[in-house]
Amino acid sequence: MDMLTRWTSICLLVAMPSVALSQMDKECIKGDTECLNKKLSEMQNKLIKLEDQLKHASPAAANKDTLKERVVKLEQNQKKSDKKISRSVTGLNNKFEKLQDRVRFNGFLTAGVIKGTDDVAWGALEQTDLGDDFSFKTESVLGLQSSYKLSDAAEATIQLVSRGVKDFSVEADWVYVKDKLLDSLDLRVGRMRLPFYLFSETMEVGFAYPWVTPPYEFYRTDFPNYEGMDLLYKFNTGNVSHLLQVLYGGFKDEFVDTGALGGLNYTGSLGSWSLKATYIEGVAVIVPLEALEASGAIPSASGLVMFEDIGLQYDDGQWMAIAEWTAFDANEGPIPTYESFYLTLGRQYNKWMPNISLIRYYTTEKNNDPSAPLAITGLPGNITPFEGNSAVILGVRYSLSSTVALKVEAYRAFDFTEAPDGTISNGIYTFGQSAAEDAGHLGFITIVLDAVF
């Protein structure tokens, strides 16, 4: 109790008796002792109550009680806020976990350097002039892929790729939606990779194969993708796993218009063995030649084309063998017809895998007229008239980790055919006059780093 309260109480106690006695004189008859005692007792009780009230009415005590109440309320509010925040964080974590279950991100990267023969234009790589300098762009590739689960049965996929030979411009190679019609049957619609070859799906994922890049003479196409749809049917017979793909669609750019393409692709695997067989057919139009066709300079700028491929792979973790054969048949029109095959052998020694590849590429007599005007129309090199060549690849792969590999490769191509203008070309590489006079062969030394993430 503070000083002011104490003095107030004392003053009231001192003053009350005189006031009370004066009041009692008026209410009681003089000499009536019983009345006076009763009134005195009542006044004493009032004084006791008043003193008690004064004690409890202390400002300090009141302030103390109010402060305690506020602290209690603040603690209660804090607990409520903590519970709300906890519920919000839990909700966000649950949503993020669900999003993680629905979204997948992965990618691949190749970075390296290549040194080639002087005076050589590389048609398969956008006419890149290798020269005798080191090129750090030719083998550089970066790809990012994302898949989003739309529902339990549907999924959307997009793959963006940036290539050094195209000045690192970004292209959408894959953009499609997949729907699971049955447990073993999927439907895909959109932009996808044509299954021309054994490594078509991973043609630019360097980590997926032993070479720096798949053999140039074999993995040659100006339209690796198509817009359309396919059905994927998976089934097993005993220990053999099967995948059957039926596709329909087309491709069009400033050079080629395939119109409608249709095809079948089969893949089977048993233990260390895998087999692939493909047949694709359609009508291809060489767009820059349509003006020549209209003028009568050539009979047709289009033709029915058929593509066949058979690939066999063995990999037991120690020995590796890959063999593949393909044929591109143009029944009519200006497109050259060719066949190609290669054989690759490799042996794993801990983290090292040396390998050797033998390649042969040649055109057939059909539609291989050297006087055809394809070479002067600015078309990609791989549809220029030529007869073919052979090549040998010696390489070694070193696994730095489970997702990173270093590769060193020496490539040598030979048996080229001289064109009417004195240059040497196989449709992929075109030698200038100086190189043609030196020798009909070329060589590359390449070092790359491949990674997946």
pLDDT digits (tens, 9 = 90+) for 119-174: 454 444 344 445 557 778 878 999 999 999 999 899 999 999 999 888 899 999 99
Averaged pLDDT, 51-58: 58
Task: Say what the pLDDT of residue 441 is.
Answer: 63
150, amino acid identity: L
> For 359-389, how does the pLDDT look when each residue is reduced to its tens digit (9 = 90+)?
998 876 554 444 444 443 444 444 444 567 7
Task: Give the residue among 344, 345, 340 at the shortest CA–CA distance from 327.
Answer: 340
Task: Give the residue among 391, 386, 395 at the shortest CA–CA distance from 365.
Answer: 386
Q: Which CATH superfamily is domain 96-452 in?
A: Porin (2.40.160.10)
> For 389-407, how does the pLDDT look when each residue is reduced to its tens digit (9 = 90+)?
788 999 999 999 999 999 9
pTM: 0.73
**248 pLDDT more than 50:** yes
> For 281-302, how does the pLDDT look when each residue is reduced to its tens digit (9 = 90+)?
987 777 666 665 665 555 566 6
Q: Are 245 and 235 in contact (CB under 8 A)?
A: no
Task: Say what the pLDDT of residue 374 is.
Answer: 44
Task: Give the residue among 254, 143, 128 at the shortest CA–CA distance from 193.
Answer: 143
Residue labelled with tokens 């393409």 = 261
Confidence at 246, pLDDT banded by 50, 70, 90: very high
Task: Say what the pLDDT of residue 20 is.
Answer: 46
Structure-block tokens of residue 349? 């020694």
How far, in whole angstroms, is CA 199 from its chain's centroid?
A: 18
Structure-block tokens of residue 156? 């959307």
Average pLDDT of the chain, as a whole number: 78
**247 pLDDT more than 60:** yes
